[in-house]
Amino acid sequence: MALQQVVEQTVTGLGYDLVEIERSAGGLLRVTIDLPWVQPSADAVTPLLDQFVTVEDCEKVTRQLQFALEVDGAEYKRLEVSSPGIDRPLRHEQDFTRFAGSIIDITLKAPIGVAAAAGQVNATRKKFRGLLSRAESGGWQIVWSEEPPVKPGQKVSKKRAPAPLQALGFTLDEIRDARLAPIVDFKGRAGKAGATPA
């Protein structure tokens, strides 16, 4: 059985999602897992709490994978099982659905071109950061503003007009890499809707 199949069957059999498998120089086999996502129902009264992969989850998957890979005779020197982290890769349609409304970074396979840029964006640009949302056409889009972020303590004139929002529609086939933007909020979770202050 192929390595991909062994790892995928083991991880999903334990009740986790396989995010990615990476083989590195020196025989390192890196497996990234996540908790399965269940789309919240429209009539849900309470919001779902953020759930994260724990060290115990990684430990459980590591033990089972070591056994499965030994039985299959897979070649590796070191196995590393981890969570996706704050810059989680987005690979499948389900990932985009799950993280709609989040800030993401995308890299296109080819520059957007003169027609798509419409004179507002550099036609050779491939990298974008913005809010992921569904496009009217049913595909995906990323929405952003070129306005520089306000620095702490900086005063902003109320008369200044905000920079216009820009949108770029894309398909999954046009993307080389898509990840959640690694934005850290040091204010904690109290600012989130539905969170109760400690």
DSSP per-residue letters across 42-71: TT-SSPPPP----HHHHHHHHHHHHHHHHH
| Percentage above 90 pLDDT, the chain | 36
Residue 68 binned pLDDT confidence (cut-offs 50, 70, 90):
very high
Predicted pLDDT of residue 158? 79
Predicted pLDDT of residue 14? 94
Domains and CATH numbers, the chain: 3-40+51-82 (3.30.300.70), 93-149+159-180 (2.30.30)
**Residue among 150, 6, 34 at smallest CA distance from 91:** 34
Distance CA 23, CA 7 (A): 12
Residue 178 binned pLDDT confidence (cut-offs 50, 70, 90):
very high
Predicted pLDDT of residue 119? 59
State the average pLDDT over residues 55-78.
Answer: 92
Q: What is the pLDDT of residues 120-141, one digit of tens each?
A: 677 788 899 999 998 888 889 9
Provide the whole-model pTM: 0.73
Amino acid, res. 133: S
Distance CA 3, CA 11 (A): 12
